[in-house]
Amino acid sequence: MKQAIVTFVLAVVASLTSVAALGQESRKPEIVVVTHGRAAEPFWAEVKRGAEAAGVDFGANVDYRAPGTFDVEAMARLIDEAVTERPAGLVLSVPDADALAPHIRAAVATGIPVLGINSGLDVSHALGVKLHVGQNEYEAGRAAGEAMRDAGGRRAVCINHELGNIGLDLRCKGFIDGFGGSVEVLAVPPEPQKIEETLADRLKATESIDVVLALSASTAGDPALRAIAGSGRPEKIRFATFDISDPVLRALADGKADFAIDQQPFLQGYLPVEFLMLARREGVMPVASIRTGPRFVRAEEAKAALVRGATRKD
């Protein structure tokens, strides 16, 4: 009988301990991340992974949210919904400042700390965002254009798979300014098969095209590589892309791509959560935006990455 009572008491204590642990979990600060990119997309999966890793490291619950497709209105609704929940912090991408401005300003007005990531580094501060983690998209595009100009490119295509996304628009604009030669902005839907077909048709119709720039590796870069390979003149077409994927790394290593521009998506997810938690605990915050790119990845670095297996499907 005594043994049964002891067993019962131990079971009750274990149960209460579990309940207490759950209570502590629920009391963790809630940080909501709202972006224009689905976590199912390789690049944004890496952003989400970074944010959640920081949540584990700094004791926060991280909730990543995004529309099912590139939809700024849907993103605005997600921001508004997050604000009603009064999270400890809000992390946002800013793909369309005009459309999102009233929603971001309303979030800031509530007193919720708001940080920016990815698109919008050049505009987020004017909206009241404390800090932005990303890259200057215009400067990254311009550097890509200058590199292709210096390599001897004369006629280029910039594949834009999300017209209206200020970050991608700025990449093409910077590329045009840096390249100096003829550049066509090829507007396509964010569908890899459609991108491959559209670019293949363009390369066939205009044989003077000797440079192709993609603005995303998995969405546009991988299908662009396939289109170039099937063009009948792949050795005459220089290729570069923003972001990294396994096919892009292999193309770099094999001399079929000039460079990839890495903006380190893991850091874009991790750092804002870290900064929000440090601000909450210690009252500290960087005084300027943090640039995670552009970082140019070329053949030797790609080969090293493939050897060690340290690839990302961005």
pLDDT of residue 151 exceeding 60, the answer is yes
Sorted by where each begins, the domain ranges of the chain are 7-135+264-283, 137-262+298-308
For the residues 228-251, what does the mean pLDDT come to? 97
Chain mean pLDDT for the chain: 92
- Inter-residue contact 255 to 302 (CB < 8 Å): no
- Inter-residue contact 211 to 157 (CB < 8 Å): yes
Quick: pLDDT tens for 60-78: 999 999 999 999 999 999 9
- Of the candidate CATH numbers 3.40.50.12280, 3.40.50.2300, 1.20.1300.10, 3.40.1380.10, the domain formed by 137-262+298-308 belongs to 3.40.50.2300
**pTM given for the model:** 0.86
Backbone angles phi, psi at 237, to 5 degrees: -120, 120
Spatial separation of the C-alpha atoms in residues 283 and 311, rounded to whole Å: 36
Write down the residue that tokens 């909206």 correspond to: 127
Same fold, 7-135+264-283 and 137-262+298-308: yes
pLDDT of residue 146 exceeding 70, the answer is yes
The pLDDT of residue 186: 98
pLDDT of residue 107 exceeding 50, the answer is yes
CATH of domain 7-135+264-283: 3.40.50.2300
Query: What percent of the chain is predicted at pLDDT more than 70?
Result: 90
Quick: pLDDT tens for 249-304: 999 999 999 999 999 999 999 999 999 999 999 999 999 999 999 999 999 999 99
Pick left, alpha or beta for residue 84 (phi over 0 → left; psi -120 to 50 → alpha; otherwise beta): alpha
Quick: pLDDT tens for 118-133: 999 989 999 999 999 9
